[in-house]
Amino acid sequence: MRPKSKNNKTLTAILLIAPFVLCYLVVFAYPVYKMFAMSFTDAPLIGEGDWVGLENYVRMFQHKLFYTSVYNTLYFVGLTVVPNTLIGLGIAMMIVRLNGMVQAGILILFFMPYILPVTVVTQIWQWVLDQQFGVAQPLIEAVTGKRISVFRDPLWAMPMVALVTIWWTNGFNVLLFISALRNIPQDYYEAASLDGASRFQQFRRITWPLLWPVTALVLTLQLILQLKIFDQIYLMTQGGPFNSTYVLLQLVYREAFGRNQGGYASAVAVALFVLIVIVSVLQYQLLKARGKS
């Protein structure tokens, strides 16, 4: 009876994981395979093409816009990943000190932007930052001495897109940090207070070490998401002005859907895929080393 029972369990396990495996193969594995395969051909967006070897990659490394896109993508990552994480942590530490309906209401206010579609987010901020009627323009004028069309200024465009992204996505980080803060036993803080530890010392010796796993998770998620930036750029600046916000996914979009060059677009997509893998692995190793120290 035992072999039969073991076979039944094996069959049950296979049936349970089969839907996931099928979805994974269809939705992720096959498209990734096609992306790599197309990058070695001159195929259009839809249809087959002839084998061209490394020609698309040679062309990509000779394309000035490719290097501009890589730089802008990494610049955007630098403007968003760490600031978004730190701001989320700070807000969570303030909210967690509140109680009852006040805490729930403040948390809803911070999380609400996260559930908005990107089109709504961009419309809101295009109105807020409008050069003539934007409610934020008096502040910009007070700092710079003049009103600025921020999405048409090469110096301001990318930082403003980063600001909008932080405002839009920070609620999710706040939620993760609040969950982690609630899991820290209050006994630790009470014992530290009895020993005369200041709040800064409590944060440094208790809160920060216990929050580090969640902080590493937030940083990794933010890194991967921001490397794939496209929607906000496309809707707010279209890559301008003067390609100052042109990012890798926008280059993929232009070559694939604008110029019908699926092979070259796949090569750029492979480059983005490799960039995400390399940066993610490096960050993971750094975070792992930091966690052990």
Domain ranges of the chain: 66-292
Q: Are 88 and 180 spatial neighbours (Cβ–Cβ below 8 Å)?
A: no
pLDDT of residue 1: 46
Q: Which has more confidence, 111 or 8?
A: 111
The predicted-structure confidence for 12-62, as pLDDT tens digits, reads as follows 888 889 999 999 999 889 999 999 999 999 999 888 889 999 999 999 999
Residue 274 has pLDDT above 50, yes or no: yes
User: What percent of the chain lies above the pLDDT cut of 70?
Assistant: 97
Please give the CATH superfamily to which domain 66-292 belongs: MetI-like (1.10.3720.10)
What's the whole-number average pLDDT of the chain? 90
- C-alpha closest to that of 266 among 69, 68, 46: 46
- Rg (the chain; Cα; Å): 24
Q: Are 45 and 263 spatial neighbours (Cβ–Cβ below 8 Å)?
A: no
pLDDT of residue 291: 61
Q: Are 255 and 265 spatial neighbours (Cβ–Cβ below 8 Å)?
A: yes
Q: Which has more confidence, 4 or 189?
A: 189
Q: List, in sequence order, the alpha helices (H) in 96-145.
A: 100-111, 118-128, 137-144
Give the integer Cα–Cα distance in Å for 265 and 49.
13
The pLDDT confidence band at residue 288, using thresholds 50, 70 and 90, is confident
pLDDT of residue 158: 96
Report the SS3 class of residue 44: coil
The pLDDT confidence band at residue 245, using thresholds 50, 70 and 90, is very high
Residue 187 has pLDDT above 50, yes or no: yes
Residue 2 has pLDDT above 70, yes or no: no
The predicted-structure confidence for 51-99, as pLDDT tens digits, reads as follows 999 999 999 999 999 999 999 999 999 999 999 999 999 999 999 888 8
What integer is the mean pLDDT of 197-204? 88
- What is the enclosing helix (H) or strand (E) of 27? none
The pLDDT confidence band at residue 190, using thresholds 50, 70 and 90, is confident
- What is the enclosing helix (H) or strand (E) of 172? helix 157-182
